[in-house]
Structure 1
Amino acid sequence: MKLTLLLYLLPVFILCTLPFNSWAQTSIAGQVLDARSKLPLEGVTISTNTGQQTISSKSGDFMLITADASVLYFSYLSYQTQTITLPVSAPELKVYLQPTAAALQEVVVTGYQSNRPLLETAGALSIVGSDVISRFDESSLVRAVNTAPGVRMDERAPASYRLSIRGSTLRSPYGIRNIKLYFNGMPLTEANGTTALNLIDAASIGSMEILKGPTASIYGAGTGGTILLEPKRAEADKQQVQVGATVGSYGFRKYTATATAGNSKSNVLVQYARQQYDGYREQSALDRHVLLLSPEFYISDKQTIAANILYTDLYYELPGGITKEQYDQNPRQARGGMSGSVRQQASIDLQSINVGLKQEYKFSDNWRNTTSVYTLHRFRENPFNTDYERVANQEYGGRTSFTHSASLGSIPTVYTFGAEFQRGFEAARTYNNNAGTPDSLRTDDEVIAKTGFIFGQAELELPADFILTLALSLNDTKYNITRLKQAATGQYKYNRDFKAVVSPRVALLKKLTDQVSAHVSISSGFSPPTEEELLPSDGSLNKDLEAEKGINYEAGLRGSTSNNRFTYDVVGFYFRLNETIVSRQNALGVAVFRNVGSTAQKGIETALGYTLLENQDQLLTLLKLWTSYTYSHFRFKEYQKDQEDLSGNKLTGVAPHTLTAGLDLNTKPGLYFNLTSNYVDKTLLNDENTVFADSYFILAARAGYRKSIARHFELEVFAGADNITDQKYSLGNDLNAFGGRYFQPAPNRNYYGGLTLKYKL
């Protein structure tokens, strides 16, 4: 009787409990994307701590039904596994996976607007991530950038940067020229052709994509290259506040406060940094305040809006170049004499605000657009050895690009086209410098610079794993110079229009295997003079200066073996540059410029990496070796200087051989160690090839310990050293310097240490 009753009641019990089981189940939906490119990832495994599992679709979407799971795991080959604690507040998750160190060749790059993996990108480029920047003290980007082959960054004084790609140092006695920079997709290079990279704090950079040579037709005029800077971003569904402090030799102090928040609707970075330095040399102190607000809002699956607000208050002193005799006697001294740097208080005091807004909109699966607009306002006071400058800048500009995916017959094709425009206004006055005080007025100028271009590109996926790229840009630059006052010549107006020039690019890539590809390309470049080259600070006007034009031939091989443990990227190039612009110093120490004919630049760039070990479950979680090597055979092909023929001479300021190598070691308890070595060959300092800087070999190291404290805190303690070999070398030599003042000595062996504390909300 009882058994019969139980048999009747059992189906009733099952039917009654089924709804309760279904009510306890939770549906979780979302999308998985690459953290750098923001592109969807297909095939990501999403699992729970209770055993449920699913795979992301081609669009990166996933949906998982679970009953009592508390943790989600996202795992994908060559990406860091990410863990998310349930429940989550957002109805749909957006999960961003970070590529692992051993998967550099699988990182998707954005430099050519088509968002392809590096293995499918036909062009020479290097990626410098935040992991490379944090190998050092984060006082500047110099040592991180110099790990990339074919790229050289100098620091003539703290915050006085010079950057060159493949020998573009020739026309850069100071500052950054002939290279275009963008920050978060918005122009950082101004309409007058100059870039104030020292306005950005190194710790706020998440990644740098460096496109080398005149290969970036979609970025307009330029023969040196293009650099794309991206700010750091928070991890998905993580909010944290971080404070840090670093102190070091020669009065180095740096303090940072950072807040980041990431979720399915937004990703926000707010950072304040204060950096001070007493200086290794006389008259080389620095004081910099940087405030960056960089939010990104995911309005919908179709629309993303990002903004940048960058405010900088920067003061740094200029010690000036010294002679070989002074360099050997006391490298810490500044330029002396009646017009010496200390007596004239040579320095730069700069206040700047840069505001930008960017929208990415996806009209359909085949059409998308990215549009950005920006404005900047800047004021600079520059007492120099020979004069005193006061300059105010105002500028605005914008860029838009459309991308369309289609088929040309049976051939998948991606079209990209758009335009960019910039307009800058500068009011500049120069005075006699009376011991750091402006004296009588020399010149009073107003300069309007306008530059713009239209561009187009088509990428065709041909049979047999070939990818053909056809691109061109039409560039135009104009200057309107009004001299309101000059004691010697009086008022005048001068207009210069560097006529529109077409810069084409053709590239072909062959994917040999799933891990190896080869590429070749031919491209031309056009680079008009900057405003500072047309109008140097001695009051002269360079009416005869012409734009540089060049053609670049390139071939490369990149790939990986042993399950991405060994990666390689090798490029050979030949670049022919006409109307080459070089700089020389006159008797006043002012840089002046002229066209000298042509150069022939041949080189090889190699980047290698080998991951000996990468396993998050072992005591030693990462052990990696890497190196980059650059060979430069650069010559003046045609160069007539007055009565002297310098044709065939080696290019000034370019070392024939540079080599950087490093070791990275991480442990499960949180200990880490980085070692970086850098060799630079003997470098010629004048066009006559009679003066050179000695070769040098330096070492840098950093060790630290990261530890989670309780549930919300994470502490990192670190210490490091630079120039461990205690080499005497000059970083940022003055080329073709008047009076033999070629040398800008770098610090000897120096140390730093600090800590950061994170609070995770």
Structure 2
Amino acid sequence: MKSLSFKYTLSFLLCLLMPQLLLAQLLVAGQVIDAKSQLPLNGVTITANTGEQSISNAAGEFSMQVAEAASAITVVHLGYTSSSVVLRAGNRTNLRILLQPSAASLQEVVVTGYESNRPLLETAGAISILSDEEIRRFDERSLVRAVNTVPGVRMDERAPASYRISIRGSTLRSPYGVRNVKMYFNGIPLTEANGTTALNLLDASNIGNIEILKGPTASIYGAGTGGTILLEPKRANVGEQQVQVGATAGSYGFRRYTATASSGTEKSNVLVQYSRQQYDGYREQSAVDRQVLLISPEFYISDKQTIAANIIYTDLYYELPGGLTQEQFEENPRQARGGMFGSVRQNASMNQDGLNIGLKHEYKFSDDWSNTTSLYTISRAIDHPFNTDYERNTNQEVGGRTSFMHRSHIGSLPTTYTFGGEYQRGFQASRTYDNNQGRPDSLRTDDEVTAKTGFVFGQAELELPQEFILTLAMSLNDTRYEFTRLKQVTGQGAYEYNRNFEAVFSPRVALLKKLTDKVSAYASVSSGFSPPTEEEILTSNGVLNEVLEAEKGTNYEVGVRGYALNNRLSFDVVGFYFRLSETIVSRQDISSVAVFRNVGSTSQKGVETAVSYNFLRNPVGQLRELKLWGSYTYNYFRFKEYQRDGEDFSGNRLTGIAPHTATAGLDLATQLGLYLNVTVNYVDEIPLTDENTVFADEYLVLGARAGFRRTLGRHWGLEVFAGADNLTDQKYSLGNDVNAFGNRFFQPAPNRNYYGGLTLQYRL
């Protein structure tokens, strides 16, 4: 009887355990790494979709047993953008997961801008970072709204796809286009040898991260007086292969379509993206049609060697409605410039094709030596009927950059050396014609322009006792233009003109002190040198400005940044004083052509602040995130010495600069996938003339975006969203024409408008 009882008991236990025995267990293991610094992350939470959890150790490594039904894991860490990784047969025990830092956590954000890859808390300079999450808070029709959340930076949109960027007042000399700001995409120069950047050849969806270095602090990128912006493409995590399509529609005929394929493996990371954006326009003559194809692969040849490439092809057409007077602006902001040279009559527009090809090679010779070298070429063709003329240009450019890094010691002090150089050569064939109602008529000028620019740089960072970090940097810059006038119908005939801006030595000294492991303070002194662009010397009316000199300036800066209250609060405050001599300003002549001249000097003082507070950040709670953030900029910018035609403007406010700007936002996200982003932007009144007699009114604009983002099953992901801009229905100008002839200062922005769309994702 005992034997029979034992058999029954054993059978009963086996029946109870059978479901558990049949449920096979699988091992999931890997390493979690900071995507920027490539350093392991400790304390990361890894959760399988079947409920099992693990925490990474100091080496970033984790392992756990999961149910056989597990198809994906979610990786979450404070200060980083969460990631989802699909589990596949043969790819479960050697996972390499890259997490992108969130700009809200200063102790973990790694800055690449000075090439030493230090945390932001150890970086002695005014720098702001926009993460992928912050860029996608808006509708992606442009980067304008995202960039305008950054203190000290303003981005204007004079017409759809016509952009300007001002860093601490640098648009004083920019009636149109991006100039006096150096830009790179994936570490490869985007700014051309002639000093301009065709930012509108990129789509906002191409960009996954932005670093903005303010003022002449980035000696390793030359010593321009405006600043440097580094753009990075969005990369897939290791183990992610996915295809994504999206569509957005909105007010005034806004349509947007995107298709993206991305793949991240141990040996490569490939991004292929196509986007098309169309817009009928809020104003007359303000339509847009832009197509962008981006191919951006990276190949990890070995632990020592990486090869990356960018291929960007753009077909861009946009119309130019032109500026309005105050009376026209008040009467009907949707109208275009009228009259004999009206925008509709003259078909004022830009038709541009561009091809940008870049190749980057990174090689690690040893633990102490490494090199990054990039080569690129740019081809652009421009067909541009303007209100008063018609331009046809072709641009060809080649260039390269190399940078060496060496880690060593001076005595017992750890030291990082960075040194290298950059060279660019561009050639432009430029013809201008009379504009006969949108058609080229009689030839005015036929020019060939060669632009050559380059610099060498060096930087040393010394880790001193008591947690001080000393930075010593310099650059030696040289720019040369060669103009050949093949034909000119009126006046002077063919001639050649060469302009060489002598090499200028631009040093930088910075000292940082880590006050605690959560707070640091720094001070820096740097000088800048910014020669005129080709467009400032050879204006669109064909006149050569032979007397224009380069700007030179010195920047003094102190700042403090850190975090508190259990890492919930982050703050970044900087004060600066920038003295600029030979300041370049612009005015419009009677034909609405921008002309440039040097004035004596300017004095630019300011304070920039950014603060963020996470009320709640709980990756496993019903309410996952509740964050309030804001930025504020105070500018006290004055002409120090400025006389023109017998008038003295010394002491006047700098044209085109608002003394106060502020932005605030609220972000909310739930476990169900619902989210809400609210943004409010305030801009103070702006002087529009050097005389300070005309001002653009202050304005307050409110925008919001709400959506639902969810994973559906093992392979599918869905996002549905809707949003509104200018909910306050403000009548304002997002980009003003300063010193405009005929008082045509205003470029009206749309009134209250709406958009909505969806994104569908398939993970392979």
TM-score by length of structure 2 reads: 0.93
Matches within 5 A, 1:414-429: 414-429=416-431
Q: CA deviation at 1:564?
A: 1.5
Question: Residue 298 of structure 1: CA displacement?
Answer: 1.0
Note if contact 2:164-2:177 (Cα within 8 Å) is conserved in structure 1.
Answer: yes
Q: 1:540 aligned to 2:539?
A: no
- Does 1:686 pair with 2:689? yes
Alpha-carbon distance in structure 1 between the residues aligned to 2:628 and 2:90? 39
**CA separation of 1:28/1:90 partners in 2, compared to 1, >3 Å: closer, same or farther?**
closer
* 1:555 equivalenced with 2:558 (yes/no): yes
- Deviation of 1:48 after TM superposition, in Å, equals 8.8
* Residue identity matched to 1:78: G
1:135 to partner: Cα distance:
1.3
Match of 2:34 in 1: 34
Q: 2:710 aligns with which of 707, 712, 724?
A: 707
1:538 maps to amino acid: N
Q: For residues 242 and 32 of structure 1, do their structure 2 counterparts lie closer, same or farther at Cα, with a shift above 3 Å needed?
A: same
For the 8 Å contact 2:45–2:53, the answer to whether it is kept is: no
Over residues 168-210 of structure 1, what are the superposed CA-to-partner deviations in whole Å (9 max), with x where a residue is unaligned? Answer: 1110000011000000000000000000000000011101000
How many pairs were matched up?
Answer: 734
Give the C-alpha shift of residue 47 in structure 1: 7.1
Question: Is 2:216 the partner of 1:217?
Answer: no
Aligned counterpart, 1:470: 472
Q: 2:100 aligns with which of 98, 101, 104?
A: 98
CA contact (8 A) 1:158 1:316 kept: yes
d(CA) in 2 for partners of 1:568, 1:122: 15
Distance 1:713 1:186 in 2: 34
Question: Who is 1:323 aligned against?
Answer: 325
- Aligned 1:633-672 pairs, distance under 5 A: 633-672=636-675
Q: Secondary structure at the match of 2:657?
A: coil
1 CA distance for matches of 2:494 and 2:46? Answer: 74
- How many angstroms apart in 1 are the aligned matches of 2:53 and 2:154? 51
Question: Structure 1 residues 690, 81: closer, same or farther in 2, change over 3 A?
Answer: closer
2:526 matched residue in structure 1: 523
Q: CA deviation at 1:263?
A: 1.2
**Alignment partner, residue 137 of structure 1:** 139
Determine if the alignment matches structure 1 residue 178 to structure 2 residue 180: yes
- C-alpha separation in 1, matches of 2:337 and 2:255: 25
2-structure distance, mates of 1:77, 1:679: 30
In structure 1, the partner of 2:19 is none
Q: Is the 8 A contact 1:45 1:56 kept in 2?
A: no
| Cα gap change, 1:441 to 1:365, in 2 (>3 Å) | same
| Secondary structure class of the residue paired with 1:218 | coil
What is the aligned counterpart of 2:570 among 567, 574, 589?
Answer: 567
Which position in structure 1 is the counterpart of 2:10? none
Measured against aligned partners, the alpha-carbon deviations of 1:240-283 in whole angstroms (never above 9, x if no partner) come to 11111100011000011111111111111111001000011111
> 2:196 maps to which residue?
194
Instruction: Spell out the pairing of 1:334-353 with structure 2 (5 A cutoff).
Output: 334-353=336-355
Change (3 A) 1:592 1:756: same
Q: Counterpart amino acid of 1:347?
A: S
The one-letter code matched in structure 2 to 1:284 is S
Q: Give the aligned residue type for 1:577.
A: L
Contact kept, 8 Å, 2:688 with 2:739, in 1: the verdict is: yes
Tell me which residue corresponds to 2:118: 116
In structure 2, C-alpha distance between the alignment counterparts of 1:499 and 1:301, rounded to whole Å: 42
Listed one character per residue, the Cα deviations across residues 405-459 of structure 1 (whole Å, up to 9, x for unaligned) are 0010000000000000000000000000000010010000000000000000000
- Which of 281, 288, 291 is the equivalent residue of 1:289? 291
One-letter code of the match for 1:154? D
Per mean C-alpha deviation after superposition, the further-off stretch among 85-94 and 152-161 is 85-94
Distance 1:521 1:88, change over 3 A: farther
CA drift at 1:32:
3.5
Aligned counterparts of 1:481 and 1:498: Cα–Cα separation in 2? 14
Q: Displacement of 1:83 after TM fit?
A: 5.9
Per the alignment, residue 492 of structure 2 pairs with: 489
Could you tell me which of 370, 377, 387 is aligned with 2:372?
Answer: 370
**Residue 97 of structure 1: CA displacement?**
1.7
Q: What's the counterpart of residue 5 of structure 1? A: none
Shift of 1:88: 3.8
Instruction: Decide whether aligned partners of structure 1 residues 301 and 31 sit closer, same or farther in structure 2, where only a CA change above 3 A counts.
Output: farther
Q: Which secondary structure does the structure 2 equivalent of 1:219 belong to?
A: coil
CA deviation vs aligned residue, 1:262-310 (integer Å, no higher than 9, x gap): 1111111111001000011111000000000011111111111111000
| Structure 2 counterpart SS, 1:217 | coil
Residue of structure 1 equivalent to 2:761 = 758
Match of 2:149 in 1: 147
Counterparts of 1:598 and 1:288 in 2: how far apart (Å)? 40
**In terms of mean alpha carbon deviation, does 324-333 or 526-535 score higher?**
324-333
Q: Distance in 2 between matches of 1:542 and 1:48?
A: 64
Structure 1 residue aligned with 2:510: 507
Whether 2:739 is the aligned partner of 1:746: answer: no
SS in 1 for 2:750: coil
Residue 570 to residue 483, structure 1, CA distance change in 2 (3 Å): same
Question: Separation in 2 of the partners of 1:645 and 1:284?
Answer: 38
AA partner of residue 357 (structure 1): L
- Distance apart, 1:30 and its partner CA: 5.6
Retained in 1: the 8 A contact 2:53–2:64? no
1:608 to 604, 608, 611: 611
- Return 5+ residue gaps in structure 1 as ranges: 1-23
**2:20 paired residue number:** none
Using the TM superposition, give the Cα deviation of residue 618 of structure 1 relative to its aligned residue in structure 2, in angstroms: 1.5
Cross-structure match for 1:717: 720
Among 411, 414, 420, the residue aligned to 1:412:
414
User: Does the Cα contact within 8 Å between 1:103 and 1:564 map onto a contact in 2?
Assistant: yes
- Name the CA distance, whole Å, in 1 between partners of 2:705 and 2:64: 46
- Say which of 293, 305, 308 aligns to 2:307: 305
Q: Is the 8 A contact 1:447 1:482 kept in 2?
A: yes
Give me the TM-score of the superposition, normalised by structure 1: 0.94
User: Is 2:241 aligned against 1:239?
Assistant: yes
Contact 1:217–1:472 under 8 Å retained in 2 = yes
**1:45 to partner: Cα distance:** 5.5
Matched position secondary structure for 1:326: helix
Aligned-partner SS, 1:731: coil
Aligned to 1:479: 481
1:229 equivalent in structure 2: 231
The percentage of counterpart residues that share the same residue type is: 70
For the Cα contact (< 8 Å) 1:175–1:195, is it kept in 2?
yes
1:55 corresponds to: 57
SS at match of 1:739: helix
| Aligned partner of residue 327 in structure 1, secondary structure | helix
| Aligned-residue offset at 1:711 | 2.0
Instruction: Determine if contact 1:432/1:440 at 8 Å carries over to the other structure.
Output: yes
Contact 2:223 2:527 in 1 (8 A): no
The one-letter amino acid of 1:549's match is K
Aligned AA for 1:656? Answer: P
Q: Supply the RMSD in Å over aligned alpha carbons.
A: 2.0
Which residue in the other structure is 1:78 paired with? 79
Question: What is the rounded CA distance, in whole Å, between the counterparts of 1:556 and 1:275 in structure 2?
Answer: 40
Q: Hey, what does 2:3 align to over in structure 1?
A: none
User: What letter is aligned with 2:390?
Assistant: Y
Matches of 1:480 and 1:671, distance apart in 2:
57
Amino acid at match of 1:581: I
Letter matched to residue 595 of structure 1: N
* Contact persistence 1:105–1:567 (CA under 8 A): no
8 Å CA contact 1:457, 1:471 repeated in 2: yes
- Output one character per residue of 1:127-163: Cα deviation in whole Å (capped at 9) or x when no partner: 1122122111110000100000000000000000011
Which digits, 9 at most, give the CA deviation of each residue in 1:70-100, with x for residues without a partner?
Answer: 6777665534565653644498543202335
Contact 1:309–1:355 (Cα < 8 Å) also in 2: yes
Q: Which runs of 5+ in 2 are unaligned?
A: 1-23
